[in-house]
Structure 1
Amino acid sequence: MTESHELDGGELADLAGMIPPEIGNLALSNPLDWGLALGVSAAGFAAKSLSAQEESGVGVRAFTRTVMDQWGAAAGGETVVTVAWELAANAIQYALCADVPAQQPGRAWLGLMRREEAVICAVTDSSPAPPLPRSTAPLDNDGRGLHMVDRLSSHWGWSRSSSGTKTVWARVPTTW
């Protein structure tokens, strides 16, 4: 179970600056509960900020695995871990890479939402580029991510917000 502590005014102000614009102006609760502010039960929503330093995927996989364990996934948990990492890896590569101009720092977030028979994995990032599956040789180390997402999920897609961010999502069948 995740530990929480009371936040003081300075910590709340710091957190307010970290909330991605696509989530909107949320009322910060104490402890911070983005799921409730989004109208999603807190027990069924988890989010993680992504950074370029996570390019190995250890943090993203560990976060997703922990959430799946806490939610009691009976089957499909490792598939959710794989899909979440593939979506996050694209955001890290294209929105948080060194090529992003300093005046436009990249931001990316992973969100997991528990549904009755599935988990929705969604990654929002600041890259304007649409997610396009690349045609690649089967043994290439790069370019297979969206092909894997397509195979492992029942549905996937993407949308662009009016602020220019995009969200790529996938629905992964899971049992509890």
Structure 2
Amino acid sequence: MTFYHFARSVVKTIIRPLYRIEVIGLENFPESGGVLLCTNHISNLDPPVVGITCPRPVSFMAKEELFRVPVLKTILPNVKAFPVKRGMSDRGALRKGLSLLKEGEVLGLFPEGTRSKTGKIGKGLAGAGFFALRTDAKIVPCAIIGPYKPFRRLRVVYGKPINFTEIFTEIKEEKISVEDATQMIMDEIKKLADTHQD
């Protein structure tokens, strides 16, 4: 057993019953090939919650500062996380993300870039659109529906992969900007959240 799977088992044992996690839409998740998994961001617990509910191992981009914390700098690389600089274009992180997708891995992103203080889904940054338009990876939207309160139900909803080719045909465009692509992804996440909200 790898450290990733060991850590996943430990976290799952603790978090899943504590937050009564309900997972919806796992049948939508591709069994193989590169996947760009895009999720809204409402808590610091979002990465482990996605990690224990996603059917495949996920590599998350994590803010560079976390890799300077004594314990985390050892754990994070072993659970497939890699650093990204905030507030600037991090070419190294972009190359790493592209490489993972082209190798058929799952890249996890929180397109908003930071946690929502209100729980509402905000505007996404261009990174999600960048990866979506520069690889053949499937783009899977995911909505985490809180609140994170012990013994209250938390929902994680995986949507159907977004078909950009179909969207291009509908809007009669051959190319769209990374900003537009990101907005399309955020719209799908919001639809999932609105549809499955209590």
TM-score normalised to structure 1 length: 0.33
TM-score normalised to structure 2 length: 0.31
Structure with the higher fraction of residues in helix conformation: 2
